[in-house]
Amino acid sequence: MPRVVVPLVAAAAGTAWLIALFVPWTARGALSSASLLDAVELIRRGAVDAIVPPGAAVLLLVPAIAGIALIGLVGLTGRVAAVVRVGALVLGTAGTLGLAGVLTGFDPAAAGPGVWVAAAGVVAALVVAVLAVSGLRRPSPITPPAGHPPN
């Protein structure tokens, strides 16, 4: 079951992080009516150079990029896909928590819908971790040697 569920729940996390790119992350202040993508555009245009360095635009995109990777990995299996999936889950979670902290000051009242949607992605990532670990710890069935009846 984890073999099917893990990629699907990981894709759900990725979808949440991608959707969060298009909604406001703060409930009040300058970004309360602008999406994270709008903030990236402002940074790229140099409209906020005095406040935010131009390289910060890429950091705002980390959860969405991780989300795109997770959605793209849905049908793929194997060790490489699993490693990339774990990496995307870790980056997306870290990026989401970092952005939420910086943009809201860790104040839940200041969190906009983008933070809550992205937080749902973090919860899905934690579910993936639990499912993956429980799948690793499940003992394999023991088959009796030939000629011996099962107990």
Extents of the domains making up the chain: 2-136
Q: Report the pLDDT averaged over residues 53-75.
A: 94
Q: Are 16 and 124 spatial neighbours (Cβ–Cβ below 8 Å)?
A: yes
- Binned at pLDDT 50, 70 and 90, residue 3 comes out as confident
Distance CA 151, CA 128 (A): 35
Q: Are 35 and 24 spatial neighbours (Cβ–Cβ below 8 Å)?
A: yes
Q: For the ranges 30-44, 57-71, 81-95, which has the lowest average pLDDT? A: 30-44
pTM of the model: 0.85
Q: Are 85 and 70 spatial neighbours (Cβ–Cβ below 8 Å)?
A: yes
- Binned at pLDDT 50, 70 and 90, residue 29 comes out as confident
pLDDT at 148: 67
pLDDT at 71: 97
- Binned at pLDDT 50, 70 and 90, residue 138 comes out as low
Cα dihedral 115, 35, 90, 69 sign: positive
- Binned at pLDDT 50, 70 and 90, residue 102 comes out as very high
Q: How far is CA 96 from CA 20, 53, 56, in A?
A: 10, 19, 14
pLDDT at 108: 93
State the first-to-last Cα distance of the chain, in angstroms, to the nearest integer. Answer: 26
